[in-house]
Amino acid sequence: MQADTSANDPDLNNRLESLCLSVTEHALGGSELGEVDNIDEWSAKLLAATEGATEEIDAPKEIETMDTRLAHLLEARRSLQKRWRRQRHNRKLRKIAELAERSSDTAVSSAHSSGLHSAARLMGSFTAAALGNSSGN
């Protein structure tokens, strides 16, 4: 139905052609496609250029994912740590320690429930390094 609409409206057809050309020039350089005299020939050139510029890569075998709740807790802790570095209030440090403990518990429960052990490894590296020995103050 769109092809019929663009064929009836020459202004729309010109805008679509210029849009396709500008995207092609940006993505493929535009030099090898030339002018659009025949849409079928131009489409064949475009497909050939696209195939030449396309590269397939192998996806990683195991993609680690993070629970959204865990990501939120990590971001909250990072935000509090940033503020604490500027203000150095003990109350903030206690809040950071509490968030670190909650995020660690969440990571462990997430690892157990989903079978992913990456969350537990992730939290194990964060909690000790981020808080050091000052979490008891």
Cβ atoms of 99 and 73 closer than 8 Å: yes
Query: Is the pLDDT at 43 greater than 60, yes or no?
Result: yes
- Of 77, 71, 137, the C-alpha closest to 110 is 71
Cα 62 from Cα 31, distance rounded (Å) = 40
pLDDT for 3: 46
Backbone φ and ψ for 9, nearest 5 degrees, come out as -115, 100
Query: Is the pLDDT at 44 greater than 80, yes or no?
Result: yes
Q: Any idea where the domains of the chain sit in the sequence?
A: 2-53, 68-136
pLDDT for 31: 55
- The pLDDT tens digits of the residues spanning 11-26 come to 655 555 554 444 444 4
pLDDT for 10: 64
Cα 91 from Cα 17, distance rounded (Å) = 62
Query: Is the pLDDT at 82 greater than 70, yes or no?
Result: yes
Residues in the chain: 137
Mean pLDDT, residues 3-18: 54
For the chain, give the mean pLDDT.
Answer: 66
